């Protein structure tokens, strides 16, 4: 039953998208499952995975409650804690150091107006996940912040996701451009969000 | 020496009393001959009692965290009979009167302030009390023997005079040639302690550090230093720097280019915009990797004899068991929380300096020489020091001179400020050292031969402060030379190879002991295991003729329940070391988590003789232990092509709250000679930690810091 | 001109909006209790409260504080009598004292949000503040003590 509702929702949004494509409006969140293609999907996810496991993404999706730091994913010095809302605790809230924009200079706090980790109830851990585990986790509403496919697609343009490509001086960029990532992300999702075998 | 001959008393304008001392060879104190401005600061008085009842104690040593701001006034208050909270405390300026009672120059260092001033400050208080009592006797007609003091008053019969009321009369009396100090049984402060006098101003932002200097017309200067030690400015283009709003001037000084601006931020922006071409010079040849190889090679050869007995080589050849170790110790930055800074104002033939300095007299002389002025025309003001650890005692007055150069070149009063990066990259470090140690054990596992060669730069030699470089600089070998362990070894040799590098070096909290204690206490631990003995038992055997080492070791072993089995996953290590006349034993309890060490608990015992302020001693043990923990875990500067690779606290880490262990300090009830406190806990901390790591992992760490070694728990 | 409220006082500063709040506080407003230690949010010596949060003023542009409430160590209490200040004095926490303004400002947020912090809470709140003198054991003890005083009815 649930499955049926999901499919119909997808179809419904798909219809909308077709329309919006035609009108040239690329308003996010309106992509359909165009066709199921497990090979293309898995292939796309493998690209996605390299980005999500890069320092710029994984450092804020740690296995524990402390963010990671640096291109070598070491535990963030001074061990700031996730907190309930993902925004740190007490005198060590993320925004106490992480400003709305990157602070100039090497080894200074990178910035974003919404700098945070996933909240405690949905930790969205990337660190240590195999491609298969991560793919399944990403589309599991109970583990992805109740994001449907539309919300997931939108998430590619989330400000904090984008900041991975504006990491501040001296930090390594994700292994592909944001456009390439977004393309792979959407391909993965719209070809059925298949998980790799491992 | 008969110190009482040097006591002087006199009047200040307005009728107050001041008490001063001088050292035998010093000139007559000039300031005493002339009246001092009413209510004004009396530069060479130790004690100044105003007619308004103010009691001002002037310190011959500077406060940099060690608590001397409290301890010296305690000594004086003990004899003067005033409450500590009645006392106003100040740093002295430069005056021969403030010369160290032993070292003969004005210096705060060597963990020596308390013991070296123990008599002088008590005498100051006792002299004043004697004079005030005499004055009260005269005024009341009551015999001196029937007068007594009580918390700022003299009680003469049924009359009561405040010290302020008597100060004028007392000042006219001749200084007593003999004063009677209170017997220990009467002590109210000494041995009991006091709260810190400076805690109030250090909790509400009022405490003024050098960095906090502000006055009308004062500009902030920042210097672009040569990136390589010994480098020079080839050329520079200040166009862009001068275009930064707030930048006033850009001037070249020896070794760099200074940007002078309205405030710190403008100066910093200006320095970023400044374009300098450097002549790096031969310093670029220096690399840590090649330095390590070269030093190791040298350490394998016999150095200049620092201590020798018998024939170590022959005995080594005959020994039953041979232990060999090669230790490498990196350059270390002191990294006090307050980055170095100095304010300089030149006015005609006078210059005024504000600097947190441990060596004000030397700074005065260096500035006078640079400006070609009389030393007395250089006024040195000393605010609180935001940490020192030796860095603020540079014989070359590096950061003071730099500020004066800028003030001179610009013609403006300037506050020269270093950033953290400047502080880390611009030198004066604990030198890089390598030790090569060969120990031969007899059948019972006890040492019978010991060959110990040390390689490193000479602090004393490069300081040039105490005459020509000695063939063997004691600060390079202290802790090995004179070690109680070596005294038990019939054939031993301690050799030193003194090297020269472009890297400026300096004493760093506990100086040579930072590395010698590590080598000694880890190899003795190795020897204990090789002998199949418990590390505490083994040390007790070797130290049987060293009662003070034993006192500290036995106390800490008892308090830490050394022989009691620990919880699974927890391991202990021990170390004991004498430095600056105090004997500190430490037991560290660790576990291994994620291939790294976690120090959970540190027990510490000290025999420092009389602990004047026991809680202050405890605070210094805690401080030294955490300083030692940082050194053990993270302490390392590396050089590549003559440039320091580390920049700031992200790559030169300092232990934080989450790494801070539980610390318990125990003071040996001791009647022995007084020793120091400030530096004494640093040396045994790192070896105790790595000895615990050995217990946990079976791995010996020969190269600090520990972070470079992946630790694996033993199955 | 940028307007902000510092320790309850409305202030106007002629500053570049990019100028770090630290230097506005110290060099333009003359409040020197807030310290410079690293300049890159590593040491916490520059910690002040921005709308009650313990921001590192060395990396906080003054523009972020425009129209906002800033509290520095000078404004933590009216008479050096915040429970933390009293506990700091009682436990003889400060040594050189340079980092203590920042330590206190961090601890004040901890205590406000958690009146009875555990050792773990203290680690989680205070590990962003470096003390080179190693006063951590006393800071820990003083925070516990202040929590007791606070609960005993002392004013915050």
* B685 neighbors B625 (Cβ within 8 angstroms): yes
Is residue B715, in this structure, part of any structural domain at all? Answer: no
Residue of C nearest to A105 (CA): C40
Is residue A112, in this structure, part of any structural domain at all? Answer: no
Residues of A in contact with C103 (CB under 8 A): none
Beta B378-381 vs B275-279: how paired, if at all?
A: unpaired
Least confident of B35-44, B366-375, B441-450, B515-524: B35-44
Residues of C in contact with B649 (CB under 8 A): 38, 40, 42-43, 130
Residue of A nearest to C120 (CA): A81
Domain closes at, from B186, B202, B235: B186
Q: Are residues A136 and A183 in the same domain?
A: yes
Is residue B663, in this structure, part of any structural domain at all? Answer: yes
Task: Count interface pairs A-C at CB distance under 8 A.
Answer: 72
Q: How far, in Å, CA of B373 to CA of B348, rounded?
A: 10
Is residue A87, in this structure, part of any structural domain at all? Answer: no
Whether the CA torsion A179, A183, A184, A188 is positive or negative: it is: positive
CB pair distance less than 8 Å for C40 and A107: yes
CB pair distance less than 8 Å for A107 and C105: no
Is residue A114, in this structure, part of any structural domain at all? Answer: no
Whether A91 has its CB under 8 Å from any CB of chain B: the answer is: no
Beta bridge partner(s), residue B150 = B153
CB pair distance less than 8 Å for C99 and B337: yes
Q: What percentage of chain B reaches a pLDDT higher than 70?
A: 94
Q: Are residues A148 and A181 in the same domain?
A: yes
Q: Residue B9: is its pLDDT beyond 80? A: no
Cα distances (angstroms) measured from residue B26 to each of B29, B105, B433: 8, 11, 39
Residue of A nearest to C61 (CA): A99
Identify the CA nearest to B607 among candidates B693, B517, B668.
Answer: B668
State both tokens at A174: 């994700």
Question: What average pLDDT is seen over chain A?
Answer: 86
Q: Are residues A141 and A70 in the same domain?
A: yes
Longest pairwise C-alpha distance within chain B: 84
Whether B215 has its CB under 8 Å from any CB of chain C: the answer is: no
Q: Are residues A26 and A56 in the same domain?
A: no
Q: How far, in Å, CA of B336 to CA of C36, rounded?
A: 12
**If one looks up domain C83-151 in CATH, what number appears?**
1.10.150.120
CB pair distance less than 8 Å for B653 and A77: yes
CB pair distance less than 8 Å for B650 and A77: yes
Give the confidence band of A32 by pLDDT, cuts at 50, 70, 90. low
Residue-level pLDDT at A20: 32
Whether A109 has its CB under 8 Å from any CB of chain C: the answer is: yes
Whether A23 has its CB under 8 Å from any CB of chain B: the answer is: no
Cα distances (angstroms) measured from residue B303 to each of A132, A135, B288, B290, B306: 63, 64, 21, 20, 8
Q: Are residues B163 and B242 in the same domain?
A: no
Residues of C in contact with A108 (CB under 8 A): 40-41, 59
Residue ranges of chain C with per-residue pLDDT less than 50: 154-156
Is residue B714, in this structure, part of any structural domain at all? Answer: no
Whether C92 has its CB under 8 Å from any CB of chain B: the answer is: yes
Q: How far, in Å, CA of B260 to CA of B238, rounded?
A: 11
C48 to chain B nearest CA, in Å? 12
- CB-nearest to B420 from C39, C104, C129 is C39
Subunits in contact with chain C (3 or more CB pairs closer than 8 Å): A, B
Residues of C in contact with B265 (CB under 8 A): 16, 19-20, 23, 27
Q: Are residues B619 and B651 in the same domain?
A: yes
Say how many residues make up chain B.
Answer: 715
Q: Are residues B8 and B115 in the same domain?
A: yes
Q: How far, in Å, CA of C134 to CA of B424, rounded?
A: 19
Over the stretch A74-91, which tens digit does the pLDDT of each residue have?
999 999 999 999 999 999
Subunits in contact with chain A (3 or more CB pairs closer than 8 Å): B, C
Q: Are residues B576 and B624 in the same domain?
A: yes
Q: How far, in Å, CA of A42 to CA of A181, rounded?
A: 14
* B653 neighbors A77 (Cβ within 8 angstroms): yes
| Domain with A14 in it | 1-30
* B395 neighbors B464 (Cβ within 8 angstroms): yes
DSSP B206: -
Q: Residue B714: is its pLDDT beyond 90? A: no
Q: Residue B41: is its pLDDT beyond 50? A: no
* Domains: count for chain B: 3
Whether C120 has its CB under 8 Å from any CB of chain A: the answer is: no
Q: Are residues A16 and A43 in the same domain?
A: no
Torsion of CA B238, B241, B246, B252, to 10 degrees: -40
Whether B263 has its CB under 8 Å from any CB of chain C: the answer is: yes
96-125 in chain A: CB under 8 A from chain B: 106-107
What is the domain-level CATH number for residue B621?
A: 3.30.365.10
Helix (H) or strand (E) holding B515: helix B513-530
Residue-level pLDDT at B24: 33
State both tokens at B240: 């862009």
The ipTM value here is 0.97
Residues of C in contact with B338 (CB under 8 A): 35, 37, 96, 98
Mutation for testing the B interface, residue in A74, A77, A171 having most B CBs under 10 Å: A77
Over the stretch B225-284, which tens digit does the pLDDT of each residue have?
999 999 999 999 999 999 999 999 999 999 899 999 999 999 999 999 999 999 999 999
Q: Are residues A8 and A72 in the same domain?
A: no
DSSP B38: T
Cα distances (angstroms) measured from residue B668 to each of B502, B614, B628: 43, 11, 21
Residues of A in contact with B648 (CB under 8 A): 107
Q: Are residues A16 and A47 in the same domain?
A: no
Cα distances (angstroms) measured from residue B38 to each of A35, B52, B92, B286, C18: 95, 11, 18, 57, 48
Whether B416 has its CB under 8 Å from any CB of chain C: the answer is: no
Helix (H) or strand (E) holding B371: helix B360-371
Q: Are residues A42 and A67 in the same domain?
A: yes
Q: Are residues B272 and B308 in the same domain?
A: no
Whether B648 has its CB under 8 Å from any CB of chain A: the answer is: yes
Identify the CA nearest to A186 among candidates A29, A10, A4.
Answer: A29
Give the confidence band of B499 by pLDDT, cuts at 50, 70, 90. very high
Q: How far, in Å, CA of B204 to CA of B224, rounded?
A: 34
- CB-nearest to B195 from C34, C92, C130 is C92
C145 to chain B nearest CA, in Å? 15
Residues of B in contact with A170 (CB under 8 A): none
Residue of C nearest to A83 (CA): C124
State both tokens at A71: 């291109």
CB pair distance less than 8 Å for B650 and A78: no
Q: Residue B119: is its pLDDT beyond 70? A: yes
* Domains: count for chain A: 2
Q: Residue B676: is its pLDDT beyond 70? A: yes
Average pLDDT over residues A146-154: 92
Residues of B in contact with C27 (CB under 8 A): 220, 262-265
Residue of B nearest to C28 (CA): B263
Q: How far, in Å, CA of A166 to CA of A172, rounded?
A: 10
Give the confidence band of B97 by pLDDT, cuts at 50, 70, 90. confident
- CB-nearest to C64 from A78, A90, A99 is A99
Give the confidence band of B15 by pLDDT, cuts at 50, 70, 90. low
111-130 in chain C: CB under 8 A from chain B: 122-124, 126-130
Q: How far, in Å, CA of B219 to CA of B213, rounded?
A: 10
* B111 neighbors B677 (Cβ within 8 angstroms): yes
Q: Are residues B158 and B55 in the same domain?
A: yes
Residues of C in contact with B662 (CB under 8 A): 137
Over the stretch B368-426, which tens digit does the pLDDT of each residue have?
999 999 999 999 999 999 999 999 999 999 999 999 999 999 999 999 999 999 999 99
Residue-level pLDDT at A12: 40
Average pLDDT over residues B334-346: 98
* Helix/strand/coil for A183: helix
Q: Are residues B214 and B299 in the same domain?
A: no
CB pair distance less than 8 Å for B660 and C26: no
Q: Are residues B92 and B60 in the same domain?
A: yes
Q: Are residues B265 and B356 in the same domain?
A: yes
| Domain with B255 in it | 210-281+340-417
Q: Are residues A164 and A139 in the same domain?
A: yes
Q: Are residues A18 and A47 in the same domain?
A: no
Peptide bond into B101 cis (omega under 30): no
* B266 neighbors C20 (Cβ within 8 angstroms): no
Over the stretch B626-661, which tens digit does the pLDDT of each residue have?
999 999 999 999 999 999 999 999 999 999 999 999
28-87 in chain C: CB under 8 A from chain A: 40-42, 44, 47, 53-56, 59-61, 64
Give the confidence band of B465 by pLDDT, cuts at 50, 70, 90. confident
Crossing angle of helices A38-52 and A178-190, in 10° steps, is 140
Q: Residue B23: is its pLDDT beyond 50? A: no
Is residue B713, in this structure, part of any structural domain at all? Answer: no
Whether A99 has its CB under 8 Å from any CB of chain C: the answer is: yes
Alpha helices in B141-172, H assignment, sequence order: 163-172
- Domain-wise residue ranges, chain C: 2-75, 83-151
Whether C96 has its CB under 8 Å from any CB of chain B: the answer is: yes
Whether the CA torsion B562, B566, B570, B571 is positive or negative: it is: positive
Q: Map tokens 């590098």 to a residue.
A: B501
Give the confidence band of A35 by pLDDT, cuts at 50, 70, 90. confident
Mutation for testing the C interface, residue in B64, B195, B335, B337 having most C CBs under 10 Å: B337
- CB-nearest to C40 from A93, A95, A108 is A108
Residues of A in contact with C105 (CB under 8 A): 91
Identify the CA nearest to C107 among candidates C149, C61, C66.
Answer: C149
Query: 3-state DSSP: chain A helix, strand, coil percent, rounded to 5?
Result: 40, 5, 55
Residue of C nearest to B649 (CA): C42
Average pLDDT over residues B301-311: 97
Q: Are residues B298 and B152 in the same domain?
A: no
Identify the CA nearest to B72 among candidates B83, B82, B64, B61.
Answer: B61
Q: Residue B3: is its pLDDT beyond 60? A: no
Q: Are residues B170 and B265 in the same domain?
A: no
Q: Are residues A22 and A37 in the same domain?
A: no
Cα A103 to chain centroid distance, Å, stands at 23
Mutation for testing the C interface, residue in A87, A94, A96 having most C CBs under 10 Å: A96
Identify the CA nearest to C8 among candidates C56, C113, C78.
Answer: C78
Give the confidence band of B342 by pLDDT, cuts at 50, 70, 90. very high
Give the confidence band of B20 by pLDDT, cuts at 50, 70, 90. low
Q: Are residues B397 and B444 in the same domain?
A: no
∠ Cα A74 A75 A79 (to 5°): 155
CB pair distance less than 8 Å for C127 and A92: yes
Q: Are residues A65 and A129 in the same domain?
A: yes
**If one looks up domain C2-75 in CATH, what number appears?**
3.10.20.30
Q: How far, in Å, CA of C19 to CA of B490, rounded?
A: 67
């Amino acid at each position: 039953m649930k499955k049926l509702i999901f499919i119909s929702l997808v179809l419904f949004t798909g219809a909308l998208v077709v329309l919006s494509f035609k009108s040239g409006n690329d308003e996010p969140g309106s992509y359909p499952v165009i066709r199921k293609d497990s090979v293309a999907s898995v292939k796309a996810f493998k690209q996605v995975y390299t980005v999500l496991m890069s320092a710029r993404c994984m450092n804020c999706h740690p296995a524990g409650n402390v963010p990671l730091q640096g291109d070598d994913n070491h535990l963030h010095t001074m061990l700031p804690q996730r907190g309930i809302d993902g925004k740190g605790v007490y005198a060590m809230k993320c925004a106490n150091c992480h400003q709305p924009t990157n602070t100039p200079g090497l080894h200074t706090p990178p910035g974003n107006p919404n700098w945070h980790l996933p909240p405690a109830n949905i930790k969205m851990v990337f660190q240590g996940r195999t491609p298969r585990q991560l793919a399944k986790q990403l589309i599991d509403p109970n583990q992805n912040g109740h994001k449907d496919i539309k919300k997931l697609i939108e998430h590619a343009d989330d400000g904090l996701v984008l900041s991975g490509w504006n990491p501040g001086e001296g930090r390594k960029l994700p292994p592909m451009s944001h456009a390439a990532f977004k393309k792979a992300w959407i391909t993965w999702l719209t070809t059925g969000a298949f998980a790799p075998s491992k | 020496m008969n110190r009482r001959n040097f006591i002087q008393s006199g009047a200040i304008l307005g009728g107050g009393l001041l008490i001063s001392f001088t050292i035998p060879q010093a000139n007559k104190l000039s300031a005493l001959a002339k009246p001092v401005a009413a209510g004004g600061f009396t530069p060479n008085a130790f004690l100044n009692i105003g007619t308004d009842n103010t009691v001002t104690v002037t310190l011959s040593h500077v406060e940099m965290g060690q608590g001397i701001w409290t301890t010296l006034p305690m000594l004086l208050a003990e004899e003067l009979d005033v409450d500590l909270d009645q006392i106003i405390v100040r740093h002295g300026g430069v005056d021969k009167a403030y010369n160290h009672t032993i070292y003969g120059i004005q210096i705060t260092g060597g963990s020596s302030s308390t013991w070296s001033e123990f008599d002088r400050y008590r005498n100051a208080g006792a002299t004043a009390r004697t004079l005030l009592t005499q004055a009260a006797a005269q005024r009341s007609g009551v015999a001196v023997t029937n007068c007594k003091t009580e918390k700022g008053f003299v009680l003469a019969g049924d009359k009561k005079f405040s010290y302020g009321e008597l100060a004028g009369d007392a000042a006219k009396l001749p200084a007593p040639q003999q004063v009677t100090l209170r017997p220990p049984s009467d002590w109210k402060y000494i041995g009991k302690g006091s709260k810190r006098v400076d805690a109030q101003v250090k909790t509400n932002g009022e405490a003024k550090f050098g960095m906090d200097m502000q006055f009308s017309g004062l500009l902030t200067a920042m210097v672009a230093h040569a990136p390589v030690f010994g480098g020079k400015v080839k050329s520079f283009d200040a166009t862009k720097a001068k275009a930064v709003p707030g930048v006033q001037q850009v001037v070249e000084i020896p070794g760099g280019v200074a940007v002078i601006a309205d405030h710190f931020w403008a100066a910093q922006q200006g320095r970023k915009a400044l374009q300098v071409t450097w002549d790096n010079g031969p310093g670029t040849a220096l690399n840590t990797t090649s330095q390590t190889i070269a030093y190791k090679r040298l350490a394998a050869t016999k150095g200049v004899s620092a201590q020798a007995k018998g024939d170590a080589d022959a005995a080594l050849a005959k020994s039953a068991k041979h232990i060999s170790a090669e230790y490498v110790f990196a350059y270390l930055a002191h990294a006090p929380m307050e980055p170095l800074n100095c304010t300089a104002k030149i006015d005609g033939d006078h210059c005024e300096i504000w600097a947190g300095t441990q060596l004000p007299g030397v700074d005065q002389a260096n500035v006078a020489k640079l400006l070609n002025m009389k030393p007395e025309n250089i006024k040195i003001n000393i605010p609180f020091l935001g940490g020192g650890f030796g860095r603020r005692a540079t014989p070359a007055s590096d950061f003071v001179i730099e500020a004066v150069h800028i003030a001179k070149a610009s013609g403006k009063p300037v506050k020269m400020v270093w950033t953290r990066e400047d502080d880390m990259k611009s030198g004066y470090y604990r030198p890089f050292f390598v030790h090569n140690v060969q120990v031969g054990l007899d059948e019972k596992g006890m040492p019978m031969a010991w060959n110990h060669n040390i390689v490193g730069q000479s602090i004393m030699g490069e300081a040039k402060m105490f005459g020509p470089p000695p063939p063997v600089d004691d600060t390079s070998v202290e802790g090995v030379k004179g070690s109680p362990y070596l005294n038990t070894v019939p054939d031993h040799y301690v050799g030193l190879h003194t090297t020269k590098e472009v890297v400026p070096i300096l004493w760093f909290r506990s100086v040579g002991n930072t590395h010698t204690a590590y080598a000694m206490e880890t190899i003795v631990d190795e020897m204990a295991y090789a002998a199949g003995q418990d590390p505490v038992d083994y040390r007790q055997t070797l130290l049987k003729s060293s009662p003070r080492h034993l006192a500290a070791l036995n106390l800490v072993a008892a308090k830490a329940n050394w022989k009691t089995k620990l919880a699974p996953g927890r391991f202990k290590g021990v170390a004991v070391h004498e430095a600056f006349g105090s004997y500190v034993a430490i037991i560290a309890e660790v576990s291994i988590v994620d291939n790294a060490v976690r120090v959970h608990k540190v027990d510490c015992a000290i025999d420092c003789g009389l602990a004047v302020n026991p809680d202050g001693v405890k605070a210094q043990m805690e401080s030294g232990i955490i300083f030692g923990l940082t050194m053990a875990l993270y302490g390392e500067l590396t050089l590549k092509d003559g440039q320091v690779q580390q920049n700031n606290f992200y790559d030169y880490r300092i232990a934080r709250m989450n790494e801070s262990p539980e610390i318990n300090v125990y003071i040996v009830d001791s009647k022995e000679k007084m020793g120091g406190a400030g530096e004494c806990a640093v040396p045994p901390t790192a070896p105790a930690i790595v000895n615990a790591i050995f217990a946990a992992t079976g791995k010996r760490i020969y190269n600090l810091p520990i972070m470079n070694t992946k630790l694996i728990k033993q199955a | 001109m940028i307007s902000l409220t510092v320790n309850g006082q409305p202030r106007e500063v002629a500053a570049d909006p990019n100028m770090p709040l630290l230097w506005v506080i110290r060099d333009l407003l003359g409040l020197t209790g807030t310290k410079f230690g690293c300049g890159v949010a590593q040491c916490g010596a520059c910690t002040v409260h921005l709308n009650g949060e313990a921001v590192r003023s060395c990396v906080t542009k003054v523009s972020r504080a425009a129209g906002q409430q800033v509290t520095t160590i000078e404004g933590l209490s009216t008479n050096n009598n915040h429970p933390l200040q009293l506990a700091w004095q009682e436990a003889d926490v400060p040594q050189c004292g340079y980092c203590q303004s920042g330590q206190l400002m961090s601890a004040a947020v901890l205590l406000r949000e958690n009146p009875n912090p555990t050792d773990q809470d203290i680690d989680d709140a205070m590990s962003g503040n470096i003390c080179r003198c190693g006063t951590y054991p006393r800071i820990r003890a003083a925070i516990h003590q202040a929590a007791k005083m606070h609960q005993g009815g002392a004013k915050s």
